[in-house]
A = this chain, B = another copy of it.
Amino acid sequence: MKLGVIGCGYWGPNLVRNFNAVDGCTVVGVSDLRPERLNYIGSLYPNIKTLTTDCNELLHHKTIDAIVIATPVSTHFSLGMEALEHGKHVLMEKPMTATSEQAEVLIETAERSKLVLMVDHTFIYTGAIRKIKEIITSGELGELYYFDSVRVNLGMFQHDVNVIWDLAPHDVYIMDHLLARTPRAISATGVAHFDTDVENIAYIAVQYDDNLIGHIHVNWLAPVKVRKTLICGSKKMIVYDDVEPSEKVKVYNKGVEYLQNRDEVYDILVQYRTGDMTAPHIDLTEALHRIAREFVDAVAEDRPALTDGTAGYRTVRMLEAANTSLKAGGKVIKL
């Protein structure tokens, strides 16, 4: 598989390095509007033939099979369409598109052309989230009660997208992947603290059936860095702290049983259960290496990738609804 990478900012060199490390895959071209980024990538990888400021050279390239799109989100849709229409498989950075409608068109186009359309939902491929997914899938947590995530620190303030589009994609796609449920409604509150309409703090509440609730706090203006998620079930509870250098995932064998005596309405018996806490060993393979391999494998095996266009669409759909609610002062948006 021959690969072209469009966009070579902070993430670009990592993409090139990891795709080059996958058997059967070679990065043959990179484009970026900034010549200095191309020079840099050229110095690191002298074997890359095509280094160009014109992405069309890659999109129209005859021997390129697949395109990675690592540009600002506003360009994702048109570049993705162009790539698909030229018969290239596509891996897109997150969030997939600026609107859910765009995501739907891309999915349809990829399906029609029998091409792989994948989204770089990086955290899904980390050892930590893979372990949590494994635990949830095994049923160890019991019935799921809530997902609560906090992702705050100081900066980086964006000019064009608010904190929901910048930070919340991570939490939304992690939540969507782990819960594997369709939300019923979303509401969001937030404000822009500076003289712009770009919100720098937001709270997103997501309602699911069966009293399952999701909540996300994203914030560019906090004095400390927090990346903490609680996932609580009827049998066990997980704390996932991504700031911890080790022991990122802790599984608490704790719970509550709530026994209601049907005859006497006030006679409710709450029983607390406390057992061991376990921090399972986490595989430290770089997530991006797994993403590169998944993309190459999905193409080779002609199957959808783990984080395919539909996963990308669901994430964009939730972000879009959260943003709509935010702009409407916190109104609940039915999905």
A-side interface residues toward B, CB under 8 Å? 43-44, 46, 145-146, 148, 150, 152, 154-157, 159, 185, 187, 189-196, 201, 203, 205, 207, 211-213, 215, 217, 219-225, 230, 232, 234, 237-239, 243, 245-247, 250, 252-254, 256, 258, 260, 266, 268, 270, 272, 274-281, 329-332
Contacts and interface: CB of A to CB of B under 8 A. Distances in A.
Contact of A190 (B195, B213, B330): B213
A279 B281 contact: no
Nearest to A192: B211
Contacts of A276: 278-281
A274 B281 contact: yes
Per assembly, the copies of the chain total 4
Given A156-B270, A201-B213, A330-B332, 19 more contacts: A43-B44, A146-B219, A148-B217, A148-B219, A152-B230, A154-B256, A157-B256, A187-B189, A187-B330, A189-B205, A191-B213, A194-B260, A196-B268, A203-B203, A220-B256, A222-B232, A223-B250, A224-B252, A277-B279
7 contacts: A146-B193, A152-B230, A187-B187, A196-B260, A222-B230, A223-B252, A223-B254
B205 A203 contact: yes
A285 to B, nearest CB: 14
Nearest to A220: B256
3 A-B pairs with the lowest CB-CB distances in the bound complex, closest first = A223-B252, A194-B258, A223-B237
Given A189-B213, A221-B256, A277 B275 contact: no
Contacts of A266: 159
B274 A277 contact: no
Contacts of A157: 256, 258, 270
A146 B222 CA distance: 10
Nearest to A160: B266
